[in-house]
Amino acid sequence: MLSLYLTALVAYFKNKKILLSFILIGIVGITLRGLFCVASLSITIYFLENKNIKSWLKWNLLFIPAIALISCWYIYHYTQTGWVFATKSEGWSEQRSFVDVLSSFKNGISIARCFFDLGIFVLSFLSLFYFLKNRKVDKYTLLWLIPALVFSLAFLPFTNPINHRYYLIIYVLMLLPVIQFLSERKRIHTVITTLILLLGHFQIYPVPISNGWDCTLAHISFHECLSDYKSRCDKVWFNETKNTGTVFPVNASLKQTYMLFDTIRMTNVNNKSIDSVQYILFSNVGNDFSDEQIIQLRSWIPFYQVKHGLVELILYQNPKISFK
């Protein structure tokens, strides 16, 4: 998504209209959030074209193939599944509804956290300083500000958890005004900025606070833990996988994670009782474990544990269930 969004901007600036049209098809074809990206690109072009409606509409003609194709897909999807945007799947239905007032406030906090967490605050502050210094919204500010506003307004009314990775495009585009701002400062400011961003890769909150680990190098440690677990717990993995509960993304099959042939998935225990589950594969980066489940696991039997870096996996046995 990030690569295609940046390529779309390059295609616009270099006036490569056919390329832009194909890139837009790729963007909407990846995920529902691609529609927000397309909206952001359209609004960005409007302002970059100095609010010239005629010129803007000409560029928007290039959006028609992407919108037409994705519309056909959603119509077909509805005929096959009975739903378009809100899945009826038990594991996802609660994340596809509208929020109430309190949840809307919580979403606002989550959005603010995405611009502060993992060292991102340095990009947010320096982008703000760049704007205050110039006292105008130039193209460097427009490029990140418009998608930031569009994405935030789109995420705000829904119960789907707002994750740091959803703002990856904005983080990268923030580098443009930040580099411009730092180019007029002493080198020590650049060094400090770089160090803060690097330290963000080592930020892991203690359980039960959720983590944006999948936006940092901590994802390498996560896959090392998962690979280690697979190689050393083959009996549990292959024979008892269906009796093992966990949460996203650990519940993904080996085919989804490593492109292997094994399609068996562990049980997703998100918002479910774990009383009758034989094993629980717990991770400190599994954000979907509830506070109640975490407390309950303290009385379970640690069967296996592996840790790489700041990420750990613990396989627990249910003490109330007899084992083979």
Instruction: Provide the residue-wise pLDDT of the chain in tens; the chain has 324 residues.
Output: 999 999 999 999 999 999 999 999 999 999 889 999 999 999 999 999 999 999 999 999 999 999 999 999 989 988 888 877 766 665 555 556 678 888 889 999 999 999 999 999 999 999 999 999 988 899 999 999 999 999 999 999 888 888 899 999 999 999 999 999 999 999 999 999 999 999 999 999 998 888 988 889 999 999 999 888 887 775 555 556 667 899 988 888 778 777 877 777 888 998 889 988 989 999 999 999 999 999 999 999 998 899 999 999 999 999 987 655
Q: Are residues 254 and 123 in the same domain?
A: no
In a domain, 206, yes or no: no
Structural domain range at position 89:
2-200
Among 200, 234, 257, give the residue marking a domain's end: 200
In a domain, 322, yes or no: no
Q: Are residues 52 and 121 in the same domain?
A: yes
In a domain, 189, yes or no: yes
Contact 144, 174 (CB under 8 A): yes
Contact 41, 151 (CB under 8 A): no
pTM, whole model, 2 decimals? Answer: 0.87
In a domain, 119, yes or no: yes
The DSSP output letter for 98 is B
Q: Are residues 188 and 305 in the same domain?
A: no
Q: Are residues 125 and 181 in the same domain?
A: yes
Contact 293, 202 (CB under 8 A): no
In a domain, 25, yes or no: yes
Q: Are residues 62 and 187 in the same domain?
A: yes
In a domain, 281, yes or no: yes
Q: Are residues 6 and 96 in the same domain?
A: yes
Number of domains, the chain: 2
Q: Are residues 192 and 226 in the same domain?
A: no
Q: Are residues 187 and 310 in the same domain?
A: no
- The runs of H, that is alpha helices, within the chain are 2-13, 17-30, 33-48, 53-60, 64-81, 101-114, 121-134, 139-155, 168-182, 187-199, 218-232, 234, 254-258, 291-297
